[in-house]
Amino acid sequence: MNQTHRISVLGDGGWGTALALVSHRKGNPTLLWSAFPEYAKVLKEKRENQKFLPGIPLPSQLEITSSLKEAVDFGEVVILAIPTQFLRNILHKLKEFDLSKKIFVSVAKGIEKKTHLRPSEIVESILGKVKLVVLSGPSHAEEVARKIPTLVVAASRDEKLAGQAAEALNKRQEALRAIQLHNMGVGKQLHEKGEAEPSHKTCEEIQQTGK
């Protein structure tokens, strides 16, 4: 039996919603957080993210909230799916909570315009040396949500953490496959060429073998 984890996804954009769906399909208790209470109500009522991921139904078991405290308390793993330019503001709010046992997974790309910091650097500059993994790859939210085979990398300075993040989202025969890499490389966050070639398997091979 696959181990499950309580997953909170902070950010109701297309990528955050797609990753919440991946987590739910894995069998994880999953909660999706929206910064906007009114839109959180729409998501609950319509069971579809019409603004950012139209045409993809949201299962009734996928929990949705606009309470940041509820989202942080809920998740053992907290996925930071907040656009880089808005990440700093949310991280300052997270400092109010006990984060000592949380694993953070940063999925934002790019750099902060004013500081030129990468998402992982923003996280560590505000939250300190938290348990942090970077998840990135050539991926599209709508493809992942529609179960089109996609390969991403979970990178961290801590090999065990990278493995935990990958395991939390991996499911045999699921379209998204996360592989671990013991190196939180710059390229993973800037969406440039990475520092290593972690796998030579094609998406078709992954789909067929489940590995």
- Alpha-carbon distance 108 to 111, whole Å? 9
What are the per-10-residue average pLDDT scores of the chain (211 residues)?
88 98 96 98 98 97 98 98 97 97 95 96 96 92 93 92 91 70 52 36 40 43
Per-residue exposure over 6-17, b if at least 16 CB sit within 10 Å of its own CB, e if not: bbbbbbbbbbbb
Beta-carbon count within 10 A of 98 CB: 8
Q: Can you give the pTM of this predicted structure?
A: 0.86
pLDDT for res 105? 97
Q: Which residues are paired to 110 by β-bridges?
A: none
pLDDT for res 101? 95
Q: What are phi and psi of 75, to 5 degrees?
A: -90, 135
